[in-house]
A = this chain, B = another copy of it.
Amino acid sequence: MLLDLLIEAGNLKKLPRTGWLLRGVPNPESIADHSYRVALITLFLADELKASGVEIDVERALKIALIHDLAEARVTDIPLSAQYYLDKGKAEKKAAMELFIKTPNPREYFRLWREYEEGLSREGRLVKFADRLEMLIQAYEYERAGFADLDEFWGALDYLRESEFYGHFKELVEGLAERRTGR
Contacts and interface: CB of A to CB of B under 8 A. Distances in A.
B39 A39 contact: yes
A179 to B, nearest CB: 8
A15 B146 CA distance: 19
A127 interface: no
A85 B76 contact: no
Interface in A48-97: 48, 51, 58-59, 62-63, 66-67, 70, 74-76, 78-79, 81-82, 84-88, 90-92, 94-95
A70 B176 CA distance: 21
Interface residues of A, number: 80
Given A12-B36, A82-B95, A149-B144, A105 B47 contact: yes
B74 A82 contact: yes
A16 to B, nearest CB: 7
Interface in A1-27: 1-3, 5-7, 9-16, 18, 21-27
A171 B4 CA distance: 12
Contacts of A145: 23-25, 147-149
Interface of A: 1-3, 5-7, 9-16, 18, 21-27, 29-30, 32-33, 35-37, 39-41, 43-44, 47-48, 51, 58-59, 62-63, 66-67, 70, 74-76, 78-79, 81-82, 84-88, 90-92, 94-95, 103-105, 137-138, 140-142, 144-149, 171-172, 175-176, 179
